[in-house]
Chains A and B, each alone.
Chain A
Amino acid sequence: DTGVSQDPRHKITKRGQNVTFRCDPISEHNRLYWYRQTLGQGPEFLTYFQNEAQLEKSRLLSDRFSAERPKGSFSTLEIQRTEQGDSAMYLCASTSSKGGYEQFFGPGTRLTVL
């Protein structure tokens, strides 16, 4: 069990560029979550998958954001036409629907939009 991994750990981009983040959950976990955390705040839910199905999306997830989990394993989060307000830490978590429901978090991807 290697834990949840995220790549890259840091991303600096210019406003208007597209970025993509990857999350690899714990291998036996069928649920995967994305959260966003801005400085000095708690994480906020963005979206979650059960296997490959995206079951819930927050109103925070504007149409510039898209998430996929094509084979029910790793997931990607893409932000198109980035804005300075997108600067945040993007956290991924996973859990098993058959387990204790505790979510295990990855180290996060820190996005800075210049």
Chain B
Amino acid sequence: AQSVTQPDIHITVSEGASLELRCNYSYGATPYLFWYVQSPGQGLQLLLKYFSGDTLVQGIKGFEAEFKRSQSSFNLRKPSVHWSDAAEYFCAVGASNAGNMLTFGGGTRLMVKP
């Protein structure tokens, strides 16, 4: 069975600083990997996805993520954080051989200091 670990429950960064959110996954086959963002009381918005090919993927809102198979990681990065990026971020792995139901990590809550 697949699993996802997001080691950081909370992260606080200053506006304009760089950001990296960590994600480690466990899955026996080639994973489908996703990052979603959730604002309070809202649904989930897809930031970016990895299926195959180039291991550095670009997403919306200036986010990018790098797939590292050797480390079973898919970390999310942004070079300069904006106050509007404050939200909860979820990493997820899709079961490519079984309907692609998603397994999510516990999430990382990002706070942005002015």
Q: Which A residues contact B (CB, under 8 angstroms)?
A: 4, 31, 33, 35, 40-45, 48, 50, 55-56, 91, 93, 95, 100-108, 110
* Cβ 8 A contact of B105, one of A42, A45, A50, A105: A42
Contact (Cβ within 8 A) A106 B104: no
Contact (Cβ within 8 A) A102 B101: no
Interface residues on chain B, size class: 20 to 34
Summed over the interface, the residue pairs from A and B with CB atoms below 8 Å come to a total of: 63
Nearest CB in chain B: distance from A57 CB, A: 10
A102 to B33, CA, bound (A): 9
Q: Which B residues contact A (CB, under 8 angstroms)?
A: 4, 32, 34, 36, 41-46, 49, 51, 90, 92, 94, 96, 98-107
A113 to B107, CA, bound (A): 24
Nearest CB in chain A: distance from B40 CB, A: 11
A1 to B101, CA, bound (A): 23
**A to B CB contacts below 8 Å, 17 in the list:** A40-B106, A40-B107, A41-B106, A42-B90, A42-B107, A44-B104, A45-B101, A55-B99, A101-B94, A102-B34, A103-B100, A103-B102, A104-B46, A105-B36, A105-B44, A107-B43, A110-B41
